[in-house]
């Protein structure tokens, strides 16, 4: 018999975590239940977060958006505030899995799984999102780059959960791009993905931010390429030079989905699409 | 532990291990055999159900998560005596081969049509992108979904 605790309020959650400190946390279940099945594990207890309505809301907060960790990919992909203020994130999460997976998987889950291929992560990286961590003791905020430590490793302390993601408004970046290359269009884990924000002034790049997924232990910003694009037009020749910088920065691995060399090549190629925008 | 929810409009109270998978209790305990287990890892869509109206995968849901919820399987859309428009359209268009993926396809299509009553072919493909058919019969499935959408919008069914 597995105990499944479904607290409906944060105080109930802290009680559940204190009672079952070893229990895995279940958000959308799309990673955890697959993992438990693969390892043939039946934990004694699971703590499910799905009934914590306060972690599901998406709203304006100060100069940004606060997206509850329990917001599903489907909710985020169609939410008017996200579409208006952080379209790059809406685009990225609309590429996750298929419709049922997007109805189940959550933003907090995507962060805590900390896969190098997590589709939301490059978008959150270019948005310079911060992760809001909650515990019985209070709240702390971590930049995304300090939260993601490596494949499957996130900077969660015992007794802590991801409560929300804080995303600065990005509507003034006219170019908001996300593209994922996979073995097929739906339900495929990214072979490489790229998120880009660019602010243009008189056709020139005033600021560019690039982040590559699935090509390093965690999502990778490319400051060399960002710097190179500043003050230039998004022409094919400029993008080819920036793509070289991206290929030099990535640290891909060979795995069942693609070779490191292929990932390196595609990581740069994805940038060339910006010439069509 | 007793878990209470609604299955296809009928209240259910089931004494079971809350850590069992929803797909197992639906098939084994409740006889909802339209729910298929294909991959068991959320990649094929054959175990799709509507949970509180949203398309979800019952192989990735635990029994405990059904508590207080409303579950609809393909049996709940219609039966042989009173089939649902999608079920009729799938039959009329030959959009079934071995039939294993069909209940999941029908539920994904139903979910799509509730959001988008007038999908183009690309919308249908995207709406069904989480459902695999190993008989590779997608063209007729897309035809069937579009036909059902037309009928639902008030058009006459072609006979």
pLDDT digits (tens, 9 = 90+) for A146-190: 999 999 999 999 999 999 999 999 999 999 999 999 888 777 888
Contact residues on chain B for A33, CB-CB shorter than 8 A? 21, 42, 59-60, 62
The Cα angle at residue B131 between residues A179 and A95, in degrees rounded to 5: 15
Dihedral sign (CA A183, A189, A192, A193): positive
Chain centroid to Cα A195, Å, comes to 10
Is B138 in the A-facing interface, judged by CB distances under 8 Å? no
Contact residues on chain B for A47, CB-CB shorter than 8 A? none
Beta-carbon separation of A186 and B130 below 8 A: yes
Percent of chain A with pLDDT over 90: 90
pLDDT score at B154: 85
pLDDT at A28 over 70: yes
Q: How far is B21 from chain A (nearest CA, A)?
A: 9
Contact residues on chain A for B16, CB-CB shorter than 8 A? none
**Backbone dihedral angles phi then psi of residue A228, each to the nearest 5 degrees:** -60, -40
CA distance A95 to A189: 10
**Distances from the Cα of A19 to the Cα of A22, A36, A47, A159, B141, angstroms:** 9, 21, 10, 11, 49
Of the residues B17, B129, B136, B145, the best mutation for testing chain A's interface (the one with the most A CB atoms within 10 Å of its CB) is B129
Residue A107's H or E segment, with its range, is helix A107-113
DSSP 8-class letter at B25:
I
**Backbone dihedral angles phi then psi of residue A135, each to the nearest 5 degrees:** -150, 175
pLDDT score at A1: 86
Residue B5's H or E segment, with its range, is strand B2-7
pLDDT band at A41 (very low <50, low <70, confident <90, very high): confident
Top-confidence residue, A104 or B153: A104
3 state SS of A63: coil
CA distance B89 to A154: 48
Beta-carbon separation of A101 and B62 below 8 A: no
Beta bridge partners of B153: none
**Residue A195 · residue A211 · CB < 8 Å:** yes
**Residue A176 · residue A88 · CB < 8 Å:** yes
pTM of the model: 0.95
Contact residues on chain B for A43, CB-CB shorter than 8 A? 19
Residues of A in CB contact (< 8 Å) with B are: 1-4, 6, 26, 28-30, 33-34, 37, 42-43, 46, 48, 50, 74, 97-101, 103-104, 185-187
pLDDT at B57 over 50: yes
- CB neighbours of B48 closer than 8 A, spacing ≥ 6? A100, B35, B55, B56, B57, B58, B103, B104, B107, B108, B130, B131
Q: How far apart are the first and last CA of chain B?
A: 51
**Residue A111 · residue A118 · CB < 8 Å:** yes
B67: number of Cβ within 10 Å: 16
**Residue B57 · residue B42 · CB < 8 Å:** yes
Which of B61, B64, B129 comes nearest A187 by C-beta? B129
- Which whole number is the average pLDDT over B31-53? 97
CA distance B155 to A43: 52
Contact residues on chain A for B56, CB-CB shorter than 8 A? 100, 103-104
Is B62 in the A-facing interface, judged by CB distances under 8 Å? yes
Which of B40, B62, B129 comes nearest A98 by C-beta? B129
Which of A4, A48, A187 comes nearest B43 by C-beta? A187
**Backbone dihedral angles phi then psi of residue A239, each to the nearest 5 degrees:** -65, -35
- Which whole number is the average pLDDT over A107-116? 95
Contact residues on chain B for A103, CB-CB shorter than 8 A? 54-56
3 state SS of A173: coil
């Amino acid at each position: 018999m597995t105990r499944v605790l479904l607290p409906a309020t944060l105080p109930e959650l802290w009680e559940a975590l204190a009672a079952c400190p070893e229990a895995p946390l279940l958000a959308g279940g799309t990673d955890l239940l697959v993992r438990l099945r693969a390892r043939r594990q039946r934990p004694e207890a699971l703590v499910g977060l799905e009934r914590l309505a306060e972690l599901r809301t998406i709203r304006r907060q100060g100069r940004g958006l606060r997206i509850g960790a329990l917001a599903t990919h489907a909710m985020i992909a169609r939410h008017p505030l996200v579409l208006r203020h952080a379209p790059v994130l809406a685009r990225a999460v609309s590429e996750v899995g298929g419709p049922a997976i997007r109805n189940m998987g959550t933003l907090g889950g995507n962060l805590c799984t900390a896969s190098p291929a997590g589709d939301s992560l490059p978008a959150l990286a270019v948005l310079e999102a911060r992760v809001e961590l909650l515990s019985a003791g209070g709240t702390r905020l971590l930049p995304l780059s300090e939260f993601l430590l490596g494949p499957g490793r996130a900077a969660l302390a015992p007794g802590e959960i991801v409560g929300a993601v804080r995303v600065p408004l990005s509507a003034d970046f006219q170019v908001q791009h996300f593209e994922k290359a996979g073995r097929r269009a739906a339900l495929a884990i990214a072979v490489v993905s790229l998120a880009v924000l660019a602010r243009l002034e008189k056709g020139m790049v005033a600021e560019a931010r690039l982040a590559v997924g699935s090509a390093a232990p965690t999502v990778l910003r490319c400051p060399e390429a960002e710097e190179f694009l500043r003050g230039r037009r998004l022409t094919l020749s400029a993008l080819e030079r920036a793509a070289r910088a991206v290929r030099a920065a990535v640290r891909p691995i060979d795995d069942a989905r693609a070779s490191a060399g292929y990932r390196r090549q595609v990581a740069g190629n994805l940038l060339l699409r910006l010439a069509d925008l | 532990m007793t878990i209470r929810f609604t299955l296809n409009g009928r209240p259910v109270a089931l004494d079971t291990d809350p850590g069992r998978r929803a797909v197992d209790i639906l098939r084994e305990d409740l006889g909802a055999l339209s729910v298929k287990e294909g991959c068991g890892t959320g990649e094929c869509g054959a175990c799709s159900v509507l949970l509180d109206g949203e398309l979800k995968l019952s192989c990735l849901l635990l029994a405990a998560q059904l508590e207080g919820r409303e579950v609809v399987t393909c049996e709940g859309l219609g039966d042989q005596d009173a089939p649902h428009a999608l079920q009729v359209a799938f039959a009329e268009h030959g959009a079934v081969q071995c039939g294993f993926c069909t209940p999941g396809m029908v539920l994904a299509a139903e979910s799509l049509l509730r959001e988008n009553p007038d999908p183009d072919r690309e919308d249908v493909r995207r709406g069904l992108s989480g459902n695999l058919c190993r008989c590779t019969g997608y063209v007729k499935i897309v035809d069937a979904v579009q036909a059902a959408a037309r009928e639902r919008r008030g058009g006459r069914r072609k006979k």
